[in-house]
Chains A and B, each alone.
Chain A
Amino acid sequence: MADAVEARITDDALDPRAEFDAFLAALGGEGGVATFTGLARPSSIRGAAVERLFLDHHPVLTEQSVRQIAADARQRFGVSAVRVVHRIGEVGSGDAIVFVAAASAHRRAAFEAADYMMDRLKTQAVFWKREDTAIGSNWIEPTEADHADTQRWSD
């Protein structure tokens, strides 16, 4: 049986179908699975074509932060298993950058756990994201909307 909390970072291509299959294969009697896959957007907020993203990471804190977010989701929503896989390094436009999954007896907890993990990954996980476009590179910070999304979960 797989770990109930699986969290990893990878500089290899991320295959969301393979992650979903592996997650499903380790389940035992849950009623539902919610998944989300984030793709590297082909255009920046200002409309420039994005050639690639680059995700910088910290050798210790990045994986620790992803694992903490996954563990918090499992505990908070009482879901039986969660999986988070996040890319580091260069990510081509249109490629999967993040995959999250949550499994539970009933659907609501799984939806909420996936939503919660994504909100915290956007604002609290230890990554630094640079967009490389034909007219230059920009380091991306969370938007006000991203912070507001995370704030929804504060007690």
Chain B
Amino acid sequence: MKIFLFGKLGELIGREVNFEPEPGTATISDVRQALARAHPAASDDLLSPRVRACVNDAMVSDRHPVAADDEIALLPPVSGG
């Protein structure tokens, strides 16, 4: 699956990650935990409830199921203006 990262997370991990989920990776929460294990420097942000997840451009909860061909985005807290 493709994971797109923005803001601070994009800087820490890269803007786009091709991620091969381990067997048993069923939800957004599983993806976040696997990414956090792979990127310990970013694990606080990856696991923070303030970082929201999107699947195919729609906001989803951590319990949302994931499929191998999903495009997942992880969005840190936003600020414009």
Q: Given A61-B57, A126-B75, are A98 and B80 neighbors across the interface (CB < 8 Å)?
A: yes
9 tightest Cβ-Cβ pairs between the two chains A and B: A128-B7, A127-B80, A125-B80, A122-B81, A139-B8, A121-B81, A121-B80, A141-B77, A60-B57
Do B57 and A123 touch (CB < 8 A)?
A: no
Q: Is B73 an interface residue (CB 8 A)?
A: yes
Do B81 and A38 touch (CB < 8 A)?
A: yes
How big is the B interface, by class?
A: 10 to 19
From B6, B10, B73, B81, A118 is in contact (CB under 8 Å) with B81
How big is the A interface, by class?
A: 20 to 34
> A residues within 8 Å of B by Cβ?
38, 55-58, 60-61, 65-66, 86, 97-98, 118, 121-130, 139-142, 146
Do A128 and B81 touch (CB < 8 A)?
A: no
The closest CB in chain B to the CB of A66 belongs to B80
The closest CB in chain A to the CB of B76 belongs to A128
The closest CB in chain B to the CB of A38 belongs to B81
From A60, A61, A65, A97, B81 is in contact (CB under 8 Å) with A97
Residues of B within 8 A of A146 (CB): 79
Residues of B within 8 A of A123 (CB): 78-79
